Amino acid sequence: MHPEAEQQLARSELATKLLVWKMIADDLGGGDLVFCQGTGSPVERLLDERAGIDCLQVGGAPEPIVGIAMRVQPGYEYATFTIRFAVSSGWPTEYTKAKMALDARSRGALSPGWTVQAYTTEEGQHINRVGVVDTMQLITYVRRHEAEVMASERRGQRSTFWRLQQTHKGDARFIVVDWLALRIHRINVYEYDRRGRVDRRMGPEPRKPLPPGGQFPMDFGEE
């Protein structure tokens, strides 16, 4: 791809992520989004490549700075989180890095506080669906059921916990986790559609911002 075309694509992706952030920011406590991709900063590049942090949520003092992993897929409308599981090159994937961060949390390892998955129209100018989940809760759930899922894969069966999906080119495999499966296992997912927040709570209590990196209030009913 021509460098000018690459820059235009990068600008388009950042604009789409800002559109997603505008929709979900209030529920995450507000603040600005600082990108860790395409900036040329060695620190931000390390956050992106080594810690899986695509952007930082920066609020006014004394609010904390929170890392976010944000994946945007134009032209689709699913209700799933996808995490790169393996690539043909053998390079560490998002799942590998997330597991390492989970194991090293006691040593202060950096990892995204939130995982955001957004599905947009083909041109990326409108939101179809967005899901937000606590990253460590997501990775812990995937890891807890990994052996069972792999056993199902070997039998040619699909697990109800999560599944593996291969790209059309066959050069990568992704973990696919349904938002409904997470809710059934009492992991909260904030969900949005074209109109905004999809409220799946039981009862009339006003919603509160998600606590960054903390435990979710159990305010969603199981579906």
Tens digit of each residue's pLDDT (9 = 90 or more) over 68-79: 999 999 999 999
Assess whether pLDDT exceeds 90 at residue 7: no
Q: Is there a domain that residue 107 lies in?
A: yes
Q: Is there a domain that residue 210 lies in?
A: no
Mean pLDDT for the chain? 84
Q: Please state the rounded mean pLDDT for residues 145-165.
A: 94
Q: Is there a domain that residue 217 lies in?
A: no
Q: Residue 11's pLDDT is what?
A: 60
Q: Residue 168's pLDDT is what?
A: 85
Q: Is there a domain that residue 62 lies in?
A: yes
Q: Residue 219's pLDDT is what?
A: 34
Q: Which two tokens stand for residue 166?
A: 């291969």
Question: Cα separation of 176 and 163, whole Å?
Answer: 5
Cis peptide, bond prior to residue 211, ω within 30 of zero: no
Give how many domains the chain has, as a whole number.
1
Q: Residue 170's pLDDT is what?
A: 84
Q: Residue 138's pLDDT is what?
A: 97
Q: Residue 5's pLDDT is what?
A: 46
φ, ψ at 79 (rounded to 5°)? -125, 60
Assess whether pLDDT exceeds 70 at residue 213: no
Q: Please state the rounded mean pLDDT for residues 93-98.
A: 92
Q: Is there a domain that residue 138 lies in?
A: yes
- Report the candidate in 167, 92, 108, 177 with the shortest Cα–Cα distance to residue 140: 177
Q: Is there a domain that residue 203 lies in?
A: no
Q: Please state the rounded mean pLDDT for residues 128-150.
A: 95
Assess whether pLDDT exceeds 50 at residue 190: yes
User: Which of 85-99, 115-129, 195-209 is the least confident region?
Assistant: 195-209
Burial class (CB in 10 A: 0-12, 13-18, 19+), 92: middle
- Report the candidate in 220, 219, 206 with the shortest Cα–Cα distance to residue 26: 206
Q: Is there a domain that residue 132 lies in?
A: yes
pLDDT more than 90, % of the chain: 61
Q: Is there a domain that residue 82 lies in?
A: yes
Assess whether pLDDT exceeds 80 at residue 3: no
Domain of 134 in residue numbering reads as 3-195
Q: Residue 156's pLDDT is what?
A: 92
